Amino acid sequence: MANVAVIGSQWGDEGKGKIVDWLSNRADVVVRFQGGHNAGHTLVIDGVEYKLSLLPSGVVRGGKLSIIGNGVVVDPWALLNEIKTVQEKGVTITSENLLLAENANLILPIHQRLDAALEKARGKGQIGTTGRGIGPTYEDKVARRGIRVCDLKHDELLQEKLDNMMVHHNALLKGLGADPIDASDVYDELVKIRPDILQYAGVPWKRLEEARMKGEKILFEGAQGAMLDVDHGTYPFVTSSNTVAGQAASGSGVGPKSVNYVLGITKAYTTRVGTGPFPTEQDNDIGEALGKKGREFGTVTGRKRRCGWFDAVMVRQAVKVSGIDGIALTKLDVLDGLDEINICVGYELNGQKLDYYPASQVEQASVVPVYETISGWQDSSYGARSWAELPAEAIKYVRRVEELIEAPVTLLSTSPERDDTILVKDPFFS
């Protein structure tokens, strides 16, 4: 048996929700290891829809432990609201099946106010933040002035750390023309919810080691996508955390050998929310058609996604950087009915050919995609549960994608329904 890390191989929104749910049903422990409530998964189970942003997907399945790891930044009010919403749909959430890392950093109102003020100050140079305070919280974590879950237990320390934090941030807010925040008000609000949060607090690394020793199956659940990684993505149009597979270990508290298989969720075309470079974007009828058929709107923000052709160069890069063993190809059915389909197989930059996506912000915005055109298919692939049910040209497309990204298709998703999945290889038994 293998422990599996699931990450997005593009700019997020690859359809991780369904795949993670499909896998979490086989897992014993499900761990979120990075990000915050700026990304979400939509699950549909027995006709009931769950929109999760902080809670691991396994929480809606009975008999599993869900862990929010130390690599996640947690808005405590958002977490409690999400727990309440899920509980109202009949899901049991207690300290027995949800564990919150005691060393996870907390998102506070000051972070959200800073996020909004800084984005406004950028003017035309906005990076597309969701405004939920994710970036400023990670900044405080790195600067060693963050408030962690365990700090809620100690009144004097909590007040002292809040006072120090506000000295720094209120000066910045004043310079940006925004209203300051009183540290005492934040303290009072945290004290009110302290018992509700601390009931879930614990030591994930210890529990994960116990799970490993027992041979339990662990699913490491990532948010967003590899090209939004703060180091390896389209910087600065990225999130504030590492989204590649290596973060699964450090963001959970396990050694790297605990992750045995990396599954990259990969959409059969490409989408992106917000600003930033997008070489294969189709700002035309093709892009509109893909967006409409694929229902491309953000789970958390509701923002319309930009759509374009599959970028094999970018996905291949994500495969190498994250050590992806196999991909789960999603939304193949959205390509049904197209006469021709383009795949980006390289870039041109200033007359030179590139087989990778450069790090420079200027060069990322300047590359021109080189396309390979293949035949589309008119028959439907929607709902297929075996290779035999797929149109022949659709199979050729999948095989060509495998060749170009240098990774096999492990799972193939043909609709939002959980069972409309073609299993090539079970990652847990790789």
Decide if 412 contacts 329 (C-beta within 8 A).
yes
Task: Check 21, 37, 41, 140 and give the catalytic one.
Answer: 41
| Contact indicator for 263, 326 with CB cutoff of 8 Å | yes
DSSP-derived letter for residue 419 is T
Beta bridge partners, 262, equal 5
233/231 Cα distance (integer angstroms): 6
> Are the C-beta atoms of 15 and 413 separated by less than 8 Å?
yes
* 356 alpha-carbon distance from chain centroid: 22
Selecting among 13, 140, 151, 325, the annotated active-site residue is 13
Contact call for residues 39 and 8 (beta carbons, < 8 A): no
Q: Quick check: 359 and 314 in contact, CB under 8 A?
A: no
Q: What is the dihedral of CA 100, 103, 104, 110, to 10 degrees?
A: 130
Euclidean distance between CA atoms 384 and 391, whole angstroms: 10
3-state secondary structure 147-183: CEHHHHHCHHHHHHHHHHHHHHHHHHHHHCCCCCCCH
CA 328/CA 334 separation, integer angstroms: 15
Of 407, 248, 399, residue with least CA distance to 326: 407
Residue 85, token pair as written in the block: 């919403």
Instruction: Give the containing element (helix H, strand E) for 82.
Output: helix 76-87
| DSSP string over 108-155 | -HHHHHHHHHHHHHTGGG-----SSSHHHHHHHHHTT---BGGGGG-H
Q: Is 13 a catalytic residue?
A: yes
Angle in degrees, CA 381, 392, 341, rounded to 5: 75
CB-based burial label for 392 (10 Å; 0-12, 13-18, 19+):
exposed
Whether 111 is catalytic: no
CA angle in degrees (0–180, nearest 5) for 277-398-229: 30
Amino acid at 315: V
Positions marked active-site: 13, 41
